[in-house]
Amino acid sequence: MNTVPSSDMPLYFVWRYSAVDRSFWREHLEDWVPQKIFDAHTHINDPRFRLRSPSEETRKQFWVNEVNEPISPNDAKRCHETVFPDRSVSCLAFGFPELSYDVESSNADNANHCDAFGWFSLAATRPQWSAKKINELLDRPSVVGVKPYYALISEDKTTRDKHIEASIFDYLPHHQLAVLNTRRAWVTLHVPKRDRLGHPENIAEIRRIRERYPDIILVIAHFGRCYTLAHAQESLPRLAKDRGLYFDNSAVLNPEVHRYAIETLGPKRILYGTDNPIFYMRGRRSWKGRSYVNHTNYPFHFNQNREAPAVEGTYTLFMYEALQAFRDACSQLQLSREEIESIFYTNAERLLRTVNRVNP
């Protein structure tokens, strides 16, 4: 456990950990966040494995492209210790699932560092890889599963979303699913489609995975990319009856989404995640219908809705805003301390105990 020093200090990319953040932690989070935390969704990628940086045109396409800079395993560990003072933190970490990185070298480096840290890791996977290769990945230290992603189908240097309308099976094929099922491995699934989780094909394919490969620990990332209440309402009830399907709450800033997800899924099926380092960004988010706007105090291309300097001066980290939204939802629903702790770490610990670390 580490205690944050009193002066401002570097955190990640252009962000520093400041007096505003320390004050926000003490006022809103310190007495509520459990002493033990398992971050089930965090990224690490040593900068030396980056093959190419995005162009200015690519950076302008989507806000994540501007803030998604690599973070080394050691820096990731330091940042977690900074933002969670006096807490015991473990992580399920995986690299940035992008072909602008050396995916295989990143997987190996992450596995070794996570083993040294006492963390767990997921290997980023390409759909072209054989069943044998997936088995070999799962034999590495700390690796408990995989992180497939549609951007790993093939690269397009002009856009991150070439394959966003893909089928889940285009980037998580059946020959890999069969191995993952045998190994009772963990899969964190970022769903495709511009309509997000609620797209009928996503719902049907997730149900098919659960029916054909029931021993996989299937975790839907970001509540299925449901960052607005409208998206959550049109999708989460359709999967609510499957008690063996799990969701992480990473990157969700909307307290209404947190509340609706807890009400719909129950606290035993939700895992806490940060989506760091992206959520070290400083600012806040506003919503209108099915869309959202990010506000930050840095002159990124996407940051066209600047607020007054006095308001921007109060900004804290996105991950703290997400924690406050989660806290507010738990308070409104009067969750017990045990239920809160289950989301923060007990659920993940229970699932990790079921992973088959031995190659049959």
Q: What is the pLDDT of residues 152-178, one digit of tens each?
A: 999 998 888 999 999 999 999 999 999
Q: What is the rounded CA–CA span in Å between residue 2 and residue 334?
A: 30
Average pLDDT over residues 24-44: 98
SS3 187: strand
Query: Which is nearest to 208 in space by CA: 242, 165, 248?
Result: 242
What pLDDT is recorded for position 1? 56
SS3 113: helix
**14-30 exposure pattern, b = at least 16 Cβ within 10 A, e = fewer:** bbebbebbbebbeebbe
Q: Where residue 6 falls among pLDDT bands split at 50, 70, 90?
A: low
Q: What is the number of residues in the chain?
A: 360
What pLDDT is recorded for position 160? 83
* pTM: predicted TM-score of the whole model, two decimal places: 0.96
Query: Which is nearest to 169 in space by CA: 186, 155, 189, 183?
Result: 189
What pLDDT is recorded for position 301? 94
What pLDDT is recorded for position 157? 85
pLDDT at 36 over 90: yes
Domains in the chain, CATH or no CATH each: 9-352 (3.20.20.140)
Q: What is the rounded CA–CA span in Å between residue 343 and residue 245?
A: 14
Joined together, the tokens standing for residue 89 give: 């933190």
Q: Where residue 2 falls among pLDDT bands split at 50, 70, 90?
A: low
Joined together, the tokens standing for residue 59 give: 């950076």
Joined together, the tokens standing for residue 25 give: 């932690």
pLDDT at 238 over 90: yes
Residue-wise pLDDT for 195-234, tens only, equals: 999 999 999 999 999 999 999 999 999 999 999 999 999 9
Instruction: Count CA atoms closer than 13 A to 121's CA, side-chain side.
Output: 30
Compute the Cα dihedral for 76, 80, 81, 82 and give only its sign.
positive
Q: Where residue 42 falls among pLDDT bands split at 50, 70, 90?
A: very high
